[in-house]
Amino acid sequence: ILSDILSSYTYLHNGPRLLEPSLTSFLTTKEAALTSILAKRWRNLVAFVPCLTIDDSVFLHPEKGKQVKEDVKQSFMDFVDRVLALQGNSPLKKFSLKCDTVADTDRLDGWISSVLARGLSDLDLKIILHNRKIPGDHYQLSPKCFECSTLVSLSIDSWIDVTLAAARIFLPMLKKLVLVWVKVCPDEFETLLHALPSLEELVLARVIWKGTDVTVSSASLKTLTIMFCFWLNTLSFDTPSLVHFKYSGLVAPDYPVVNMGNLVDAQIDLFLRDNDEDAHRYSKVWKLFHGIRNVPNLSLFTDTLEVLSVCSELMRVFNNIKSLTIKSGNDLGWQATPAILRNCPHLETLVIKGIVHHVTDKCGDICGCISREGKGLSLKLCPVKVMKIHGFQGTMQEMAMIKHFLEYLPCLKEMEVYAEENNNPIQLGTKHVLEMFELYNKLSSCNVQLFI
C-alpha cells in the first residue's frame, strides 16, 4: 500500500495533473479505516495540489454495462467531499470533474461553488446524470458557474441544461468558453456573450438549442468553432474581431447577419440532408459566403462544394483568397469548383484533399474527366503557384488529373503530392507511377514532388 502511495506521490510532484486513477481508485475502494491510517500522509499529498482531476469512470465502472451500486455511488461522492475537505481553502487553479453517476445534484453544486471560491482559473465539467428522476431531463447547472471573478476557461460538457440568470453573470476574466452537448436558450446565450468582455475563444459543439434563431455576438471573440449545428432557422454572426472560424452543420435557411470582416482563416463544412434536393433551401447561403469574402485562407469541406454549386451564380469574388483548400470524396461532385476558381483572382496556393470525386457533366472544365470544348478554361485563368494534393492513392485516374492540372495551370511552380496515410506502397511505388512523375517533371516547368 505504501509503495502504491509513494509511486503516486512521485508522480504528483513530477506531473501537472493530479489525482491519477491509481490514486483515486485506491483510496476510494479501500475501507475508511485504511484511509484514516494514511490520513496524515494523504493530507500532505492532497492539500497543495493545484490541479484536481477527478474521473469516476475509473472506479465506478469496472465492468461496462453493469449497474453501479448505490453504495459505490455514495462512496464516490464521499471521496470527492473528503478530497475537497482536505484541500480546505488552498488556492486551486484547475478543477476537472468527469462523472457519469452522481445522484445528488445538491452535492455537485456544492463542489462547484467551493472550488470556484478558491481562485480557480479553469473549470472543466463533464457530467451525465443517469439517475435523473425524469427521463430525458438535464442536470440544471448551478448558476454559480457564471459568477467567478477569476475564471479564465469554462468547459461544460454533456447533458447539462444551461439556464442563465442574466443579471447574475459575472465572468470578467473568461477567455475561453466550451459548450458541448448542452441545452441552451438562444436569447440567454446572447445575453451571456454580451456579459463576457474578455471572451476570445468559443466552442459550440452539438449544442441543443431551445429555439431556432441563434446569434453569436461578441466584440472580443477571435476564435469560433461550431460543430454539428443542426435544425436552426437562422444563424447570425456579429463578431467583428473574429480571426479563426470553423463551422460544420446543416445549411441554415438564412444567415441574416454575417459580420466577420477581419477573418484570417475559415473552414466551412456544410451538410446536406438526403432529401435536400430543393435548391430553394440554400438560396440564402450566399450571405454566409458574402460575409467571409475577405478571408485570405478558406477551406471548403465535403458537401459545401455541392451547396455552392446551387448558388454558384451568386458567388461573390473572393479578392483576398490566397490559400484555398478543398476536401472532397468519391461521391461528391465538383460542379462548383470551376466557379470558385474563377472567383479567386489572387489565389496562390490550392490544396486538394482527395482528387478522386464524383464525375458530373459540369466538372469537366477543371478536372478533364470529360472531354469538352473549352477544356481547362477555369484553370487557364487561375494564378495558382503552389498546388498540394493529399490522399494520393496512385491510381491512373489521379495521374490523369495531375497531368491535367500541370497542362492547364499557367503559373504553377510547385506541385506536392502526398500519399494517403494508409496507402498501398506497392501500388504507389510501382515503376509506372514513379516514371510518370519523372516524366511530368521533365515536361512541365513545374517542380513535381511525390511524398510517400
Region of residue 202 (left: phi > 0; alpha: psi -120 to 50; beta: else): beta
Closest to ligand NAG by CB, 272 or 351: 351
Closest to ligand NAG by CB, 236 or 323: 323
Smallest gap from Cβ 328 to ligand NAG, in A, equals 16
Q: Which residues of 401-410 are buried (b: 16+ CB within 10 A; e: fewer)?
A: bbbbbbbbbe
Can you tell me which of 28, 236, 299, 304 binds ligand NAG, judged by CB under 6 A? 299
In the block, which residue shows the cell 479578392?
319
How far is residue 239's CA from residue 220's CA, in Å, rounded to a whole number? 7
Site for ligand NAG in 313-352 (CB under 6 A): 323
**Residue 297 touching ligand NAG (CB under 6 A):** yes
Site for ligand NAG in 140-199 (CB under 6 A): none
Closest to ligand NAG by CB, 201 or 265: 265
414: enclosing H helix or E strand: strand 414-419
Closest to ligand NAG by CB, 323 or 343: 323
Smallest gap from Cβ 11 to ligand NAG, in A, equals 35
Smallest gap from Cβ 437 to ligand NAG, in A, equals 24
CA distances (Å), origin 292, targets 99, 189, 203, 205 = 40, 23, 19, 21
Site for ligand NAG in 248-277 (CB under 6 A): 265, 267
By rule CB under 6 A, what count of residues binds ligand NAG?
5
Q: How far is CA 88 from the centre of its chain?
A: 36
CA distances (Å), origin 63, targets 60, 66, 337, 402 = 9, 6, 51, 52
Closest to ligand NAG by CB, 150 or 267: 267
Closest to ligand NAG by CB, 122 or 265: 265
**Residue 304 touching ligand NAG (CB under 6 A):** no
Residue 198: half-sphere exposure toward Cβ, Cα within 13 Å: 13
Smallest gap from Cβ 354 to ligand NAG, in A, equals 16
Kindly state the cell numbers that stand for 65.
454495462
Q: Using CB under 6 A, list all residues that contact ligand NAG.
A: 265, 267, 297, 299, 323
